[in-house]
Every structure is written in structure tokens, then in C-alpha cells.
């Protein structure tokens, strides 16, 4: 399906010729060719033609993005409901004794977001030294790909909805089963209990097989390839090389059975922006990621695009066979790629889409949705079940076995967090980690051969101390580059759910937002290439095929 099509190139060149006559630097360029060292022109284009073509590329890319349909960015309506700030993000703002954001403080936040003035943000009263995470970046422009305010995502589930309840029950179960090794999901009573409860909820949207949620589908993503093979992507297990330094992907993880923010007094202090009284307890032994706690630790200390950067290094080490068949140098007799269609370009474009995608995410977080975080929602659940307040929470979360187990184990109904400080001080929807993963994986799928099997796949031991070869079951699906990249994106997104800082829909829509931004950036950048190259071709997270060429996105 064609989403949009740029101005016909030949007609546009004609328009450009008329326009360039009014541009001073363009007229100056036509006064004479740029002299090379031998007195000749620099390549097949004259200097004037080159400058004119560069101008054409910039203008045509801008026109392409400008022509995109304007789609309203709408919230789910919780903020304008009688609940108001009670159902919205408010960490670091003033709170009352129930942990509810003070309406006056929330109104000042909304006023600052509407004005964009730094002075208005500074006027928001704060209960502590805690600071909001970069809300003013939500106004930043993006000049490659779609503008940050141009990419919509659906509204998140409403506070009182059955879907919201199912997402909360899921994060409770993820917290309760953090120490269960992925290799033991099939035999774990806790995982079986979680699957039964989640599978029976009225609006649970995790992946199922023949309508059933099982130990093989629980806590997994819904992208193509997510259900194939081990829970973790090969790109988070296989060894890699940084320059001349070989690296095993063993990481410092957090100590088993160590959870945070289940004390109501500590919880309230952290909601107001105070520093936690506890520090992160670490396991002294580095391990391969083998359970939810390890994965949550990884996505706590990783730098912005660490996971997709590591995947890029692993893919480039797989050699020429792993490159996309669209790569013009893959079958070249006399040339190799590098600055274009090689590692220089891949790593550069990977970083470019990261910031572009995060600008779009921050627009959604601060200016549109302002979704309440799971730790805040658990405060509402705790106060409701403790009969200190009454909120319109769905019965499926109030009656949840997982919530009851938390009360029995920790003494409160609060969500056990993987981090002492809980969530970062910005709204929940969409998940920033997911947005980066979605954008980065999309770039990698454009450059590499998606249907190629991953060589020498591995699986981590239950204690995370070793890797063993992995073989797909007879007749089972292969582990492919595209499938394992999709799984990587889901692992990163769901790892934040496992930590307790996001919901499932934060990650799903974060991946899709990152994907959409990356597709737009790839469209703009493809016009800078001069090789005989037809298009990037890749599969989206939902399995649909997409073609990105100089003139269109199909």
C-alpha cells in the first residue's frame, strides 16, 4: 500500500530550476565550475549541478514529510475525567498522604507544557530535589524523517479498563517470577499459576497459541519470531568483539530475591522525588541473562542503543552473506561497501534514528498522554484494598491472585520494583527503551538478510554461568536474523515491564513508534545514495513487507 508519494522527480527538477534562479548561492555556483587539482570538474556532475541536486534532495525530502496526513494526537481521556491527576503521571510533584498528585501542582505542570517556557517549569512546586526528565525536549524538531510531532500512536488503555487491569496483573506476576530461569518456565509452578490467571483475564493481549497462554508464550512479545526458540534473543547472548576486545555477554546483575518500594512510607517519599533509602544490591558473579531479574538489570544500566549496537556488531561479523541482497556491493566484482552500505553507514544511521525516535516518544509522553506509571497505579490499588480510598479500578486487578500474593509476601499491595528508585521521572507511554529498540532494529533489518539463519545459536544455562549450543526441534522454525532482531526488540521492551516501570502496551506501541520514525528517516536518507540501488526491503514487526525507495514508501 502506498502511504504517500513525493513530487515527480522530473517535474520537480523543472520547478527547482525556476526556484534556483532566486537563490543567491545557487546563482553564484553557476558562475563557473569548481576547479579540481587538475583543473577539471569533480566527477560526473559539475559543481553547479551538484549543488542544485543537493538542494533538490533537501527540498524533496522536506516536501515528502510535509505531505504526510495530519492525524490528531489524542489522549485516552483520563486526564479530563473526574479522576484528573489521580489517573496520570505525577512523580516528583507534590503529593498528599494517599500518594495522589496535588491537583494544583499537576495544573502547573500542564500550564508549563502548554507554554514551553523554562520559567513555567521552574515555577512548579517540588516536594524534594527530584527533577522531571527533559520535558522541553518534546518540542525539538527532527529534520530527518518525520517531525517528532507528526507520528501518532493509539491512546493507551484507560485507568479503569479491563485492559489496564490485565497489564497491571501481568507486571505483578513478572515481579513475582523475576528469579525463575527462562529455562525452567515449563516446570515452574509460579509460571503455571501466572499463565492460568493471565489467560483467564477478560482483556489480556499477550500472545497465545490456539487461544491458550502457556509457559512458552507468557511474558513474550507479539512480533514475528518472538515465539520461536529460547526466550532471549541470540543478540543478547552470543559473544561479540569491540575492536580487538572479545566480549562475553555476561553482566553484573542484581541479587536474587531483592525487591524495592513495597513499604508505603518509602513509596510515598519516592513519588515525591526523594532519593531511595536503599541502594541496588548486586550479585558478585557476572552472568548471561537467564531470568527476568537479569533482564531488568540489563535495561537499567544500558546506554541508549547498546543492545542494537551490539546486534549490529554481531551482524557485521557474520560477513558478506548476512548483508541484504539489495546491497549493491554484495555481488560487486571490484568494490566493497563502507562509507555507504557498510559498517560506517550502518552504525551512523543506527545512532541517528535513536535521537529522532526519542524526540517523537517524548512528544507523546509529555504533550499527549502523560500516562500513570505502574508503581503509581499500584499505590492506588494499595489504598483501595486497604480501604483508605476508593478508585474505579477494574475488579480483575482487585481480585487478582498476584496482588494477593504480594500482600502476603511483602505486607502491602504495592508493586515490588526491581530498582530502588522505581521508574524514571517521565510518563509511562510509550516506553523509551522500546522506541529505541524499534527504531534500531528497523535499520538493521533494512541492511541485513532477514531470512538468513543465525549461525551457531546458543542458550544460557539456568544459573547464567555458561552457554550451550541450541538446536531447533525437528520440524520447528529456524532462528533467523529478522526473527531474532524482532525478539531482541521485544526483550528490551518487556524487560522494562519486568522491572515494574512499564506496561505491555507501552512497549508494543513504543516498538511501532520507533519503527515508523526509522522508516521515515530511511526514506529521507536513501536519496543521499548514488549507487545503483533500488530500495530497502524489510518486514515490519507485524510481518508485513515494506519497500523504501527514493520516491515512495510501499
Q: Which residues are catalytic?
A: 426, 433
- Distance between CA atoms of residues 405 and 414, nearest Å: 11
CA–CA gap between residue 424 and residue 227 (Å, rounded)? 30
Q: Identify the residue whose cell numbers are 480501604.
A: 387
Rounded to an integer, what distance in angstroms lies between the CA atom of residue 419 and that of residue 296? 9
Cα 545–chain centre separation: 20
The SS3 assignment for 291 reads: strand
Q: In this structure, are residues 47 and 26 in contact, taking their beta carbons and an 8 Å threshold?
A: no
Count of residues in the chain:
554
Host H or E run for residue 458: strand 458-460
CB count, 10 Å around CB of 342? 16
* Contact between 377 and 144 (Cβ < 8 Å): no
Look up residue 441 and give its three cell numbers: 532494529
Task: Report how far apart the first and last C-alpha atoms of the chain are (Å, whole number).
Answer: 5
Contact 478, 472 (CB under 8 A): yes
User: Distance (Å, rounded) from C-alpha 127 to C-alpha 287?
Assistant: 39
Nearest to 206 by CA among 166, 250, 154: 166
**What's the CA gap between 98 and 375, in Å, rounded?**
13
Distance CA 517, CA 366 (A): 18
Which helix (H) or strand (E) segment is 356 a member of? helix 343-362
Residue in this structure with the C-alpha cell 580487538, named with its chain if needed: 244
Task: Tell me, letter by letter, the H, E, C secondary structure of 250-278.
Answer: CECCECCCCCECCCHHHHHHHHCCCCCCC
- d(Cα 410, Cα 121) in Å, to the nearest integer? 37
Residue 222 cell numbers, joined: 507479539
- Cβ partners under 8 Å of residue 198, min gap 6: 166, 169, 170, 173, 204, 206, 213, 218
What CA–CA distance (Å, rounded) separates 153 from 507? 12
Amino acid at each position: 500500500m502506498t502511504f504517500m508519494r513525493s513530487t515527480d522527480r522530473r517535474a520537480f527538477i523543472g520547478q527547482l530550476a525556476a526556484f534556483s534562479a532566486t537563490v543567491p548561492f545557487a546563482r553564484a555556483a553557476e558562475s563557473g565550475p569548481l576547479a579540481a587539482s587538475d583543473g577539471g570538474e569533480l566527477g560526473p556532475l559539475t559543481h553547479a549541478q551538484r549543488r542544485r541536486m543537493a538542494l533538490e534532495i533537501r527540498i524533496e525530502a522536506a516536501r515528502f514529510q510535509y505531505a504526510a496526513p495530519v492525524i490528531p494526537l489524542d489522549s485516552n481521556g483520563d486526564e479530563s475525567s473526574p479522576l484528573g491527576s489521580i489517573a496520570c503521571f505525577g512523580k516528583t510533584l507534590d503529593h498528599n498522604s494517599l500518594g495522589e498528585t496535588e491537583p494544583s501542582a499537576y495544573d502547573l505542570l500542564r500550564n508549563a507544557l502548554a507554554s514551553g517556557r523554562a520559567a513555567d517549569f521552574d515555577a512548579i512546586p517540588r516536594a524534594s530535589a527530584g527533577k522531571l526528565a527533559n520535558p522541553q525536549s518534546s518540542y525539538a524538531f527532527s529534520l530527518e524523517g518525520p517531525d517528532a510531532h507528526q507520528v501518532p500512536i493509539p491512546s493507551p488503555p484507560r485507568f479503569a479498563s479491563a485492559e489496564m487491569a490485565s497489564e497491571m496483573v501481568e507486571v505483578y506476576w513478572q515481579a513475582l517470577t523475576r528469579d525463575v530461569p527462562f529455562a525452567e518456565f515449563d516446570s515452574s509452578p509460579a509460571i503455571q499459576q501466572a499463565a492460568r490467571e493471565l489467560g483467564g483475564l477478560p482483556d489480556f493481549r499477550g500472545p497465545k497459541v490456539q487461544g491458550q497462554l502457556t509457559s512458552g508464550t507468557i511474558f513474550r512479545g507479539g512480533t514475528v519470531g518472538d515465539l520461536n526458540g529460547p526466550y532471549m534473543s541470540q543478540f543478547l547472548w552470543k559473544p561479540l568483539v569491540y575492536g580487538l576486545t572479545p566480549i562475553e555477554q555476561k553482566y553484573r546483575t542484581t541479587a536474587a530475591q531483592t525487591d524495592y518500594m513495597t513499604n508505603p512510607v518509602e513509596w510515598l517519599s519516592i513519588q515525591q522525588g526523594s532519593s531511595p533509602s536503599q541502594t541496588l544490591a548486586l550479585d558478585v558473579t557476572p552472568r548471561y541473562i537467564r531470568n527476568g531479574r537479569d533482564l531488568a538489570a540489563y535495561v537499567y544500566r544500558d546506554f541508549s542503543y547498546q543492545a542494537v549496537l551490539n546486534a549490529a556488531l554481531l551482524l557485521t561479523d557474520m560477513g558478506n552473506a548476512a548483508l541484504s541482497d539489495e546491497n549493491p556491493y554484495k555481488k560487486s566484482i571490484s568494490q566493497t561497501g563502507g562509507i555507504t552500505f557498510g559498517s560506517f553507514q550502518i552504525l551512523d544511521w543506527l545512532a541517528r534514528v535513536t535521537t529522532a525516535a526519542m524526540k517523537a516518544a517524548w512528544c507523546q509522553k509529555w504533550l499527549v498522554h502523560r500516562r500513570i506509571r505502574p508503581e503509581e497505579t499500584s499505590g492506588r490499588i494499595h489504598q483501595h484494598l486497604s480501604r483508605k480510598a476508593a478508585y474505579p479500578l477494574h475488579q480483575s486487578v482487585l481480585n487478582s491472585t498476584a496482588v494477593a500474593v504480594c500482600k502476603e509476601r511483602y505486607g502491602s499491595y504495592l508493586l515490588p520494583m526491581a530498582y530502588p528508585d522505581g521508574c524514571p521521572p517521565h510518563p509511562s507511554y510509550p516506553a523509551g527503551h522500546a522506541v529505541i529498540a524499534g527504531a534500531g532494529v528497523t535499520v538493521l533489518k533494512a541492511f541485513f538478510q532477514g531470512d538468513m539463519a543465525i549461525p551457531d545459536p546458543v542458550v544460557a544455562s539456568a544459573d547464567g554461568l555458561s552457554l550451550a549450543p541450541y538446536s531447533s526441534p525437528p520440524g520447528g522454525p529456524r532462528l533467523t536474523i529478522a526473527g531474532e532482531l524482532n525478539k531482541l526488540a521485544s526483550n528490551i521492551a518487556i524487560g522494562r515491564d519486568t522491572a515494574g516501570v512499564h506496561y505491555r502496551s507501552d512497549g508494543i506501541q513504543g516498538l511501532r513508534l520507533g519503527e515508523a520514525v526509522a522508516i521515515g528517516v530511511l526514506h529521507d536518507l536513501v536519496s543521499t545514495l548514488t549507487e545503483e540501488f533500488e530500495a530497502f526491503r524489510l518486514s515490519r514487526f507485524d510481518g508485513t513487507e515494506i519497500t523504501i525507495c527514493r520516491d515512495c514508501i510501499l
